[in-house]
Structure 1
Amino acid sequence: MTTGSEITIRAHGDLSGISAAAWDACACPEAAACGRPADPFTTYRFLKALEDSGSVGVGTGWQAQYLTAETGGQIIACAPLYAKSHSQGEYVFDHGWGDAYQRAGGRYYPKMQMAVPFTPVTGRRFLTRPGFQDMGRAALMQGAVQIAEGNALSSLHITFCTEDEARAGADMGLMQRTGQQFHWVNDGYGDFDAFLAVLSARKRKNIRKERRIAQDFGGQIVHLTGDAIEPAHWDAVWQFYQDTGARKWGTPYLTRAFFDIANQTLRDDILLILALRDGQPVAGAVNFIGASALYGRYWGCAEDHPCLHFELCYYQAIDYALTHGLTRVEAGAQGEHKLARGYLPVPTRSLHWIRDAGFAEAVAQFLRAEGAAVEQDIEILTSYGPFRKTPKEDHQ
């Protein structure tokens, strides 16, 4: 597909036709200078691990249609695009849209999804080489819509995109949607006590109490990354992941093979926070490390211990961010319980294109109302945050 006299758009059913160097030159050019990608989830190695492990592909409802934009024989932009036969693993919920569309006699699935599968993390979806941002983004956006429209698909959804991408998409006629998550932001704190000092006395005391209770589980808590992560650790993580997945959404999205591949190709991007008792993991959290952020992704346990979830997923993540100079911790989707633990609400954004004009107008009306409600919710929740309201409040 050609979007102009110079740029050609291609859809790829797998990553074998795209080199890692060409993809990462668009996805994480900053890694060439600092050694670590800002967004570990759009790297070639992460997406390839999903593909090679069978977590996406035939039978999963995530069929790859990776887009590339080429000019002069060079890939200048690319995007993780999938044909979806369901709405699972997306975290921007459109099940109601699908039900309504199908009740009205339409066929909602398959649809197109530009996203990182199973990963509710904001990041660039239109991945461009430096110097080609506007050209590459416009070409990919136009190409994705043309693929959906040309195949008579119901819709295209670009989820957890950046604010800049959301504005550019709106300028091209796509509908915007606003959601929210809870992130911890490092406001120059020297250590955890410095962070606690800016909280209200009641919240500060509660966090200290939770940490004491959690750390009294009868073992030790360790941080592992890189070569310190051993295959046996993944055996425990897989058991944790299966247990949590079965309780939350029925069937875990990732296969066991993903964790084996992660041990080979992703371990430098991963921080495991494990609770060990008698040397054996009894609970753990899987985090991914970006250039400036820590991303909490999976949690599970083999034993129930009071407050251990808060300690491993939230407080230990803050400790790691402070020690390593990271600016924020993103602890995953949803969860207003994070507010009391120093994680404040922030907006997330997505873009949507719907082929049927009448249904698109109905969705647009819904999004306007939903967006206003989300903005109000963020404002209210922020006002109820754990931080001190005045400098005179008790510092005990």
Structure 2
Amino acid sequence: MSDVEVEIKVIGSLNEVEAADWDACACPETGAGGAPIDPFTTHRFLLALENSGSVGQGTGWQPQYLLAQANGLLIAVAPLYLKSNSQGEYIFDHNWAHAYENAGGCYYPKLQIAVPFTPVTGRRLLVRPDFEETGQAALIQGAVQLAANNELSSLHITFCTEEEMRAGSQMGLMARASQQFHWINKGYTSFDDFLMSLSSRKRKNIRKEREKANSFGGEVLSLTGEQIKPEHWDAFWQFYQDTGARKWGTPYLTRQFFDLVQDTMRDDVVLYLAERDGVPVAGALNFIGRDALFGRYWGCTEDHPCLHFELCYYRAIDEAIGRGLSRVEAGAQGEHKLARGYLPVTTHSLHWVGDAGFADAIARYLVAEREAVEQDIEVLTDYGPFKRSQVKEQE
């Protein structure tokens, strides 16, 4: 449908577009019922960020949602933001910003197509079925034109799919490779079944860690949907604040965000809380996709050996096996995940820089970086915990 005339529009709030229209582009797979592939580009998740004040004025993430319409039909959308910093992105461009500004330019503000504070691969160019080629092209051209017309330094599309990376590259955007650690379900029937795929030493180590973690003097609750009560979110908010203060200086999300998640997304989450003497001392929050479990936030008020590994990694594996999900994505970075059965995978992003000379320098850098990422993944996979036969299968 490349001959369709497309109109591009920018809106400052998702309250200006109907949830059904947005989701027809963002998660058309839910039209017949069931969970979205991932919940992070749904109208309800992005609106929760907006309505809670987690994005918007003063946050560094100013919504500029991109809409593409054809003959009055919304055919494509993108979660686009005007960024005044590089916080909450997880694809780091701080060095680019320093170099750009040292050369006399203004790197900020920039444009970013992303899910704020969410290092999860997924569709970023959200296109209604049957409009894929037209919709993707319209969104990319529209975003680049918006950046150029406003003399902004750059446009970034982060944690996009491999297919989007290839499409964007063909349209002249620069592709960047990074890595994360994911757990892959090879049809395991139980956690013990998964352990049997590991080398003897790694298997014993995980069993020891789980035993140590679960001897913290309390119990671990697994909560979802209506099981999650306001007091559970109150406890988790304390954990999140502590982790956010240590990692980022200030937490990205507001307290109201978690209330809105409970109101509109409670069936999309599973919350693990470790309680000792009836008092929560640690917790981990996961979002549930159609085929994956997404580990997002962790925190604690008491330190207990290996409890972080138990709540964030091992309980997530148990959950994925029990739900028949194909993988667990446990967030950005963390080579310590390797020993716990999470293997490195490639993640993708796309970039446009208005200054031709600076763009050329970045393009040369990205070639070398991509080669280094590929080599790193190969080496790390070889050092993984799996039996040699299992490693060969995963390759």
TM-score (norm 1): 0.97
CA distance, structure 2, for counterparts of residue 265 and residue 100 of structure 1: 42
Which SS does the other structure have where 1:345 is aligned? strand
Q: For residue 106 of structure 1, what is the aligned residue in structure 2?
A: 105
Structure 1 residues 363 and 309, CA gap change in structure 2 (3 angstroms): same
Q: For residue 166 of structure 1, what is the aligned residue in structure 2?
A: 165
Deviations 1:334-354 (A, max 9, x none): 000000000000000000000
Structure 1 residues 213 and 5, CA gap change in structure 2 (3 angstroms): closer
Q: Does 1:308 align with 2:283?
A: no
Equivalent position amino acid for 1:123 in 2: G
Which SS does the other structure have where 2:330 is aligned? strand
Alpha-carbon RMSD:
1.1
Equivalent pairs, count = 389
Deviations 1:126-172 (A, max 9, x none): 00111111111111011010000111000000000000000000000
CA deviation after TM superposition for structure 1 residue 389, in Å = 1.3
Q: For residue 329 of structure 1, what is the aligned residue in structure 2?
A: 328
Q: How does 1:113-124 map to 2 (within 5 A)?
A: 113-124=112-123
CA distance, structure 2, for counterparts of residue 178 and residue 195 of structure 1: 29
Q: How does 1:45-194 map to 2 (within 5 A)?
A: 45-194=44-193
Q: For residue 11 of structure 2, what is the aligned residue in structure 1?
A: 12
CA deviation after TM superposition for structure 1 residue 66, in Å = 0.3
Which SS does the other structure have where 1:376 is aligned? helix
Moved more, 296-305 or 273-282: 273-282
Which SS does the other structure have where 1:105 is aligned? coil
Deviations 1:316-337 (A, max 9, x none): 0000000010000000000000
CA distance, structure 1, for counterparts of residue 82 and residue 245 of structure 2: 25
CA deviation after TM superposition for structure 1 residue 390, in Å = 4.6
Deviations 1:349-374 (A, max 9, x none): 00000000000001111111111000
Q: For residue 393 of structure 2, what is the aligned residue in structure 1?
A: none
CA distance, structure 2, for counterparts of residue 315 and residue 203 of structure 1: 14
Q: How does 1:355-366 map to 2 (within 5 A)?
A: 355-366=354-365
Which SS does the other structure have where 1:68 is aligned? strand
Moved more, 372-381 or 382-391: 382-391
Q: Is the 8 A contact 2:68 2:74 kept in 1?
A: yes
| Structure 2 spans left out of the alignment, 5+ residues | 391-395
Moved more, 234-243 or 256-265: 256-265
Q: For residue 25 of structure 2, what is the aligned residue in structure 1?
A: 26
Q: Which runs of 4+ in 1 moved over 2 A?
A: none
| Structure 1 spans left out of the alignment, 5+ residues | 392-396
CA distance, structure 2, for counterparts of residue 210 and residue 8 of structure 1: 56
Q: Is the 8 A contact 2:270 2:286 kept in 1?
A: yes
Which SS does the other structure have where 2:203 is aligned? helix
Which SS does the other structure have where 2:325 is aligned? coil
CA deviation after TM superposition for structure 1 residue 280, in Å = 1.9
Which SS does the other structure have where 1:170 is aligned? helix
Structure 1 residues 355 and 4, CA gap change in structure 2 (3 angstroms): farther
Q: For residue 229 of structure 1, what is the aligned residue in structure 2?
A: 228
CA deviation after TM superposition for structure 1 residue 5, in Å = 6.3
Q: For residue 280 of structure 2, what is the aligned residue in structure 1?
A: 281
Which SS does the other structure have where 1:96 is aligned? helix
Q: Is the 8 A contact 2:338 2:384 kept in 1?
A: yes
Which SS does the other structure have where 1:30 is aligned? helix
Deviations 1:217-237 (A, max 9, x none): 111111111111111111011
Which SS does the other structure have where 1:315 is aligned? helix
Equivalent position amino acid for 2:139 in 1: L
Q: Is the 8 A contact 2:4 2:70 kept in 1?
A: no
Deviations 1:247-303 (A, max 9, x none): 111111001111111111121111101111122211000000000000000000011
Which SS does the other structure have where 1:56 is aligned? coil
TM-score (norm 2): 0.97
